[in-house]
Amino acid sequence: MRADAGVHFFGIRHHGPGSAACLVQALEALQPAAVLIEGPADATPILPMLAAPGMKPPVALLCYPKDDPARAGFWPFAEFSPEYQAVLWAVAHAVPVSFIDLPSTARQPEKKAEAAAGKESEAEDGAEGAAENEAENPHAQHEEAPPREYLDPLGVLAEAAGYQDGESWWSDLIEHNPAPGPVFEAIAEAMAALRENLAETPEFEALREAHMRRAIAAARKEQEGPLAVVCGAWHVPALAAASAATRKADQARLKGLPREKSAVTWAPWTSPRLARDGYGAGVAAPGWNLHLWRGAGARQDGNSLWLVRIAHVLREQGYLVSTASLIEAERLAQALAAIRERPRAGFEELREAAIACLFGGESLLWERIEATLLLGNDVGEIPPDVPLAPLIEDLQRQQKATRLKAEALPQELSLDLRSESGLARSTLLHRLDLLGVPWGRAQDAGGSRGTFRERWQLAWEPEFAVRLVEHLVHGPTIAQAAAGCLLEQIRAATTLDQMAESIRAAITANLPEAAAEGLRLFEARAAHSDNCPEMLASIPPLADIIRYGEARATAAAQHLAPLLERLIVEAALKLDYAARSLDAEAAAQLAAQIDAAHTGIRLIEAGEEILAAWMQGLAAVLDDEQGTPSLAGTAARLLYGAGRLAPEAAVTLMGRRLSPGVPVADAASFLEGFFHATATLLIHDAALRQAVDLWITHLEEADFITSLPLLRRVFSALDQSERKRLLAAALGQSAAVSSLLRPAPDGGAGWQAHFAMLATLLAEEHARKNDE
């Protein structure tokens, strides 16, 4: 079968640096006339672009049906991907190169339903998984669970070889065995043995293999010399078994394949996105793979290099790591490999040795540097001449769907969120805003949340298109890109309130998954936060979501209520500590936050228990001996307003706080806190007024002058007529009313109350006349 001019199969492990190295050597030795690679056939025309000078991996092939980018699939390539290296080799040697797998449109028959159900990111993940490790990861469409041999063929072989998991086994066999040549034959034989024992291949896999066989046969007709087929190891036996009989069956099977027009392009990728959790999902550690690929794996001192990298990362973070410890770590890794009977120390041995020797046994420390070390922060680049960007296409489609035109001249737009089209338009504008494309500017930002109406001003700028393209890395559609962008923001946020604001933005822009993930992160952060002001500041946006969430149907809001309640209780518990010994500026800030949080809590109509906890927190601030006086005033005002502080108690409190024994500055700031923005209380509440009056009249002149600015601040909230009425009230003119009128002694309690009210009204009338 393996005549020189025949078809040569190279079974590789996707993203395996060892197989990439072997493959390049094998291609060099074979000098094939054409290179055929497992990958969506419709992307063949843009394959040579991978070798273009501006192309810097990691990059991903992006394929989507022309009319529906939400069903996009990504095929990522790293520098160490064998497929990428095969393309590079082919282009460098001017040899035709093509993809031979099913076209991208034919492999997502049921993605439509998923995308319609709003599971955009799942659809993407599914395609990614399928692309990265088809051998281990069958397509999601098979409902019955396939046998384990099919799911994880390497795992079965590895177990037979006495390994704990397939990854390590493959590493020892391929990645740590740089001898070229019989490796690919050995893999083919092993896979053949494994597949012989299996029942039928699942239909979707059979379809793919049929397509690949047909493509190989077609290439055979065109090309004279040897053909190199690069595919996942699992497929080698099936592809090699091509015969006249299979050809017939393949033709029958491939009939009626859905034919849709697809668009293909390249998108920049990042190394963290190459990494995916768990086994069978491609690259666990791109950083380690890159380390192996860059030649270190084959060198004698490869392990030392890796340990030195660990040491560098540690030192950057301020830990002291000595060279002697590195030597010890390497020795320990070798001993571990010997105990485990491995040919040489691999990734796991080095990790465990580093933990024992460099990290003082603390695996937590390893987890902290793991991301830097294993994921890296490489971002791919694509040359400027790559075909159209799908985000712009998506925007054009959505503009059509929502009947919004991109015009440079500013335009007013009023939206009713209760109508479907209004909501769709608003969602689109909010999402674009998140992507840094302020096509529409909300006219009544902030005030609009409570209503079903939004007003926008639209104006399109040409550079918006460029900004959209930059966001391709977050996803191929506007929705996905906005979600990805927002999540990045949430992860980078340093305070709870920033996170809360971002979550609100996610809900406004109808990005439920981003909102849910954001909430999860928020919850984790909130539990560890000790920062009361942060918690207070995050209450209003979250309360807004709950209160006004109905305008935009959202599932995340349901999960939010218990979280917010917990946040309120926690903040209330910490309130008195947070309110201690603050200077004027910090106190004013905290007072504003308490006020906003209080409004938020009333907004969501929190349950009695929660409300009680919050009031208790306020009461603690009020009673705290070490508390800041102005905040005690704020707390007293809120308690009084909520009816938790009885009027008599309020007067007693005012009297006590404004007693001669209290330092004047403290008394004045308490007064300011209490009457902040509510000085009108003084007009209507005679008892309170009296307490304040008494204090002011007893002030020494010097003290009075010192506290004047403060008093001024309190009373500046009143307008002119209010001030006059207060003055009149303070000077006792209201008392004149009751001297002539006397309640009838037999009038009863009801009459007494009516009379009191009447007296107040009359007094006000009197004051107004005076004004005129």
Partner 1 sequence: MTELLRLPAEQAYASELETLARGDEGQKPEGWKLSPRAVLTYLLGGKAADGTVISPKYVGSRRLMETAVATLATDRALLLLGVPGTAKSWVSEHLAAAIAGDSTLLIQCTAGTDENQIRYGWNYAQLLAQGPSEAALVETPLLRAMRGGSLCRLEELTRMGSDVQDTLITVLSEKMLPIPELNTAVFARRGFNVIATANNRDKGVNELSSALKRRFNVVVLPLPTDMAEEVEIVVKRVGETAAHLDLPVPRNVREEITRMLTIFRELRAGATADQKITLKTPSSTLSTAEAIATLVGGLSQAAWFNEGRLGAGELAASMVGAIVKDPVQDKAVLEEYLETVLKKRDDYSAYYTALNEAL
Q: Output 94 or 364, the one with its CB closest to partner 1.
A: 364
**Helix, strand or coil for residue 680?**
coil
Least separation in angstroms between residue 329's CB and partner 1 is: 9
Q: Output 334 or 738, the one with its CB closest to partner 1.
A: 334
Closest listed residue to residue 459, CA positions, set 407, 412, 403: 407
Least separation in angstroms between residue 581's CB and partner 1 is: 16
Least separation in angstroms between residue 613's CB and partner 1 is: 7
Q: What letter does residue 106 receive in the DSSP assignment? A: G
Least separation in angstroms between residue 197's CB and partner 1 is: 28
Q: Output 59 or 326, the one with its CB closest to partner 1.
A: 326
Q: Output 165 or 703, the one with its CB closest to partner 1.
A: 165
Asked whether the beta carbons of 125 and 273 are under 8 A apart, the reply is no
Across-strand partners of 265? 62
Q: Output 357 or 511, the one with its CB closest to partner 1.
A: 357
What Å distances lie between residue 69 and 73, 105, 383, CA to CA?
9, 11, 21
Q: Output 515 or 610, the one with its CB closest to partner 1.
A: 610
**Angle formed by the axes of helices 664-675 and 647-657, to 10°?**
150
Least separation in angstroms between residue 524's CB and partner 1 is: 5
Instruction: Give the separation between CA 494 and CA 483, rounded to whole angstroms.
Output: 19
Q: Output 47 or 336, the one with its CB closest to partner 1.
A: 336
Asked whether the beta carbons of 341 and 335 are under 8 A apart, the reply is no
Q: Output 188 or 519, the one with its CB closest to partner 1.
A: 519
Least separation in angstroms between residue 277's CB and partner 1 is: 16
Instruction: Give the separation between CA 624 and CA 632, rounded to whole angstroms.
Output: 8
Least separation in angstroms between residue 356's CB and partner 1 is: 4
Asked whether the beta carbons of 52 and 247 are under 8 A apart, the reply is no
Least separation in angstroms between residue 4's CB and partner 1 is: 46
List residues near partner 1 by CB under 8 A. Answer: 322, 324-325, 328, 331-332, 334-336, 338-340, 348, 352-353, 355-357, 359-363, 523-524, 526-528, 530, 566, 569-570, 573-574, 613
**Angle formed by the axes of helices 647-657 and 629-641, to 10°?**
170
Q: Output 443 or 616, the one with its CB closest to partner 1.
A: 616
Residue 135 in tokens:
């051998």
What Å distances lie between residue 363 and 150, 306, 373, 658, CA to CA?
34, 18, 14, 58
Across-strand partners of 244? none
Least separation in angstroms between residue 553's CB and partner 1 is: 24
Question: Phi first, then psi: what are they for 412, rounded to 5°?
Answer: -85, 145
Instruction: Give the separation between CA 723 and CA 101, rounded to whole angstroms.
Output: 83
Asked whether the beta carbons of 435 and 485 are under 8 A apart, the reply is yes
Least separation in angstroms between residue 573's CB and partner 1 is: 6
Question: Phi first, then psi: what are they for 267, rounded to 5°?
Answer: -130, 140
Question: Phi first, then psi: what are they for 705, rounded to 5°?
Answer: -65, -40
Least separation in angstroms between residue 471's CB and partner 1 is: 31
Token pair 């909300």 is found at 442
Q: What letter does residue 137 receive in the DSSP assignment? A: S
Closest listed residue to residue 229, CA positions, set 89, 27, 372, 531: 27
Asked whether the beta carbons of 587 and 631 are under 8 A apart, the reply is yes
Q: Is the peptide bond before 384 cis (omega within 30 degrees of 0)?
A: no
Closest listed residue to residue 520, CA positions, set 547, 484, 487: 487
Q: Output 78 or 606, the one with its CB closest to partner 1.
A: 606
List, in sequence order, the alpha helices (H) in 551-685.
556-578, 584-603, 608-623, 629-641, 647-657, 664-675, 681-684
Cβ-proximal residues to 186 (8 Å cutoff; 6+ apart), any chain: none
Instruction: Give the separation between CA 770 and CA 31, rounded to whole angstroms.
Output: 106
Instruction: Give the separation between CA 44 and CA 50, rounded to whole angstroms.
Output: 11
Residue 632 in tokens:
């005690």
Report the Cα–Cα distance between both ends of the chain, in Å, rounded: 112
Instruction: Give the separation between CA 481 and CA 62, rounded to whole angstroms.
Output: 14
Q: Output 247 or 525, the one with its CB closest to partner 1.
A: 525
Q: Output 257 or 516, the one with its CB closest to partner 1.
A: 516
Question: Phi first, then psi: what are they for 318, rounded to 5°?
Answer: 95, 10
Q: Output 79 or 576, the one with its CB closest to partner 1.
A: 576
Instruction: Give the separation between CA 434 and CA 488, rounded to whole angstroms.
Output: 11
Least separation in angstroms between residue 658's CB and partner 1 is: 33
Q: Output 517 or 570, the one with its CB closest to partner 1.
A: 570
200: left (phi over 0), alpha (psi -120 to 50) or beta: beta
Residue 346 in tokens:
């691999």
Closest listed residue to residue 741, CA positions, set 726, 727, 756: 756
Least separation in angstroms between residue 174's CB and partner 1 is: 23
Least separation in angstroms between residue 562's CB and partner 1 is: 9
Q: How many residues does this entry show for the chain?
A: 772
CA 682 to chain centre: 49
Least separation in angstroms between residue 752's CB and partner 1 is: 44
Residue 615 in tokens:
């009031």
Q: Output 78 or 621, the one with its CB closest to partner 1.
A: 621
Least separation in angstroms between residue 568's CB and partner 1 is: 10
Q: Which amino acid is at 439?
A: W
Residue 211 in tokens:
């397509």
Least separation in angstroms between residue 495's CB and partner 1 is: 17
Residue 247 in tokens:
């050809």
Q: Output 573 or 592, the one with its CB closest to partner 1.
A: 573
Least separation in angstroms between residue 380's CB and partner 1 is: 35
